[in-house]
């Protein structure tokens, strides 16, 4: 099969022939039809993730068709249209038994713990726990765009932040996950302020439902959010992941507000100087969001069916595998306005 491989960190990815993965007894092999390109993939390529060991194939936001099954898999058939969470549960640890597969004690992550979906085939381990059937009418590119970004944003906005209609939600960073958060928060009836330093991304945020936008290159966004909302945001989300945005997000909150950290803080951006005086004085909540567990996907699909979200609207670029391999090293600079998806031709 064709796959995009890097042999050492921070070196170009090369598309070449590699063996097709063979499923473990409890696993499935999925023929990839589409795979998103995410900043998390860039972190892995940079060497920021301890799970990644070159030579390596990235890619964790995929959709496709079941091509092979291990002998222990009972709930799936060849040819099923599927996706999977980016963080897959084992199904048996205390976290999985409590329904929190996204923080499994023995998690696996295609594109991190093993080779991912910048390839024609990818293995999904613990298939009965992690495969998710795609609704009829949801095409593969749109399904891949749900990936970690829509799914993580859904958990962040709905489950972790407990966003209610009429609340103000600030979203820092209007890449794929930030735009997803804007769209989901608006679908929940919230009023959204989007923050970024690029005009095209702020335009995309307004199209996704943001009521107000702030270009952070010229103002203090936290002060501006307090001026817009009167008291501060009820919820603020750092969808980018930096020392600056995480701190500004917390400073944007009203008393008893909720900050949700989605963007990864790795490498030089790790350990931000959080304003703990505000956390105490305003009784703020600091929350993390690590993705959506497979059993929760039907709630996300229901929002899609109801018309509250349209992931395809956030797909700005569809590229080939070779083009995606060339783009990944530049994803620290967010080369496109929305979500970029690799499209694989049907076999």
CA 330 – CA 337 distance, rounded (Å): 13
22 DSSP 8-state letter: P
Query: β-pairing, 285-288 with 253-261?
Result: parallel
Tokens, residue 231: 């008291």
Q: Contact at 8 Å (CB) between 186 and 160?
A: no
Half-sphere exposure of 233 (CA within 13 A, CB side): 34
C-alpha dihedral (41, 42, 46, 49), degrees to nearest 10: -40
| The pLDDT of residue 284 | 98
Domain at 150-288, CATH class: alpha beta
Series of mean pLDDT values for 10-residue runs along the chain (347 residues): 98 97 97 94 93 97 97 97 96 96 96 98 98 95 88 95 98 93 96 96 94 96 98 97 95 98 85 92 96 94 87 88 94 76 85
* Region class of 301: left (phi > 0), else alpha (psi between -120 and 50), else beta: alpha
CA 127 – CA 129 distance, rounded (Å): 5
Q: Could you tell me where the beta strands, DSSP code E, fall in the chain?
A: 2-5, 14-17, 28-37, 61-69, 81-83, 121-124, 132-133, 168-172, 191-196, 212-215, 233-238, 253-261, 285-288, 315-319, 339-343
Domain 2-148+292-343 annotated CATH 3.90.1580.10: no
Helices (H), ranges, 34-131: 39-46, 94-97, 127-130
**DSSP codes joined into one string, 233-275:** EEEEEE-S--HHHHHHHHHTEEEEEEEEE-S---GGG-S----
209 DSSP 8-state letter: T
| SS3 label, residue 3 | strand
User: Which residues are within 8 A (CB) of 317 and not within 5 positions of it... i.e. 6 or more apart?
Assistant: 336, 338, 339, 340, 341
Helices (H), ranges, 120-274: 127-130, 140-145, 151-154, 176-187, 199-208, 221-229, 243-251
CA 82 – CA 282 distance, rounded (Å): 44
Tokens, residue 70: 């291990």
**Residue 70: CB atoms within 10 Å:** 18
Question: String of b and e for 19-56 (b: at least 16 CB within 10 Å)?
Answer: eebebbebbbbbbbbbbbbbbbbbbbbbebbeebeeeb
CA 42 – CA 242 distance, rounded (Å): 15
Question: Where do the domains of the chain lie?
Answer: 2-148+292-343, 150-288
C-alpha dihedral (333, 336, 339, 340), degrees to nearest 10: -100
The overall pTM is greater than 0.75: yes
| The pLDDT of residue 65 | 98
Do the two domains 2-148+292-343 and 150-288 of this chain adopt the same fold? no
């Amino acid at each position: 099969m064709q796959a995009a491989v890097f042999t050492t960190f921070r070196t170009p990815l090369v598309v070449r022939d590699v063996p097709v993965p063979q499923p473990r007894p409890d696993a499935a092999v999925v023929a990839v039809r589409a795979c998103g390109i995410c900043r998390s993939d860039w972190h892995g390529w940079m060497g920021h993730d301890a799970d990644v060991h070159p030579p390596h194939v990235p890619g964790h936001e995929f959709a496709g068709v079941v091509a092979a099954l291990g002998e222990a898999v009972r709930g799936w058939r060849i040819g099923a249209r599927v996706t999977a969470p980016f963080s897959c549960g084992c199904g048996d640890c205390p976290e999985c038994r409590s329904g929190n597969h996204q923080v499994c004690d023995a998690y696996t992550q295609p594109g991190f713990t093993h080779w991912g979906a910048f390839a024609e085939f990818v293995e999904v381990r613990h298939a009965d726990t992690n495969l998710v059937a795609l609704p009829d009418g949801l095409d593969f590119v749109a399904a891949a765009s749900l990936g970690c970004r829509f799914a993580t944003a859904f958990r962040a906005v709905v489950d972790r932040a407990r966003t209610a209609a009429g609340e103000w939600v600030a979203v820092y960073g209007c890449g794929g996950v930030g735009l997803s958060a804007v769209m989901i928060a608006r679908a929940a009836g919230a009023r959204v302020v989007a923050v970024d330093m690029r005009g095209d991304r702020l335009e995309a945020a307004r199209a996704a439902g943001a009521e107000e936008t702030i270009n952070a290159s010229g103002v203090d966004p936290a002060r501006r959010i307090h001026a817009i909302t009167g008291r501060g945001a009820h919820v603020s989300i750092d969808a980018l992941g930096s020392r600056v945005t995480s701190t500004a997000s917390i400073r944007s909150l009203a008393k008893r507000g909720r900050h949700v950290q989605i963007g990864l803080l790795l490498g030089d951006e790790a350990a931000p100087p959080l304003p703990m005086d505000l956390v105490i004085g305003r009784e703020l909540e600091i929350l993390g969001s690590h993705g959506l567990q497979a059993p929760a996907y039907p709630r996300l699909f229901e929002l899609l069916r109801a018309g509250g979200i349209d992931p395809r609207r956030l797909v700005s670029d569809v590229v080939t595998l070779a083009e995606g391999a060339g783009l990944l090293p530049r994803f620290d600079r967010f080369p496109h306005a929305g979500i970029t998806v690799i499209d694989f031709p049907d076999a």
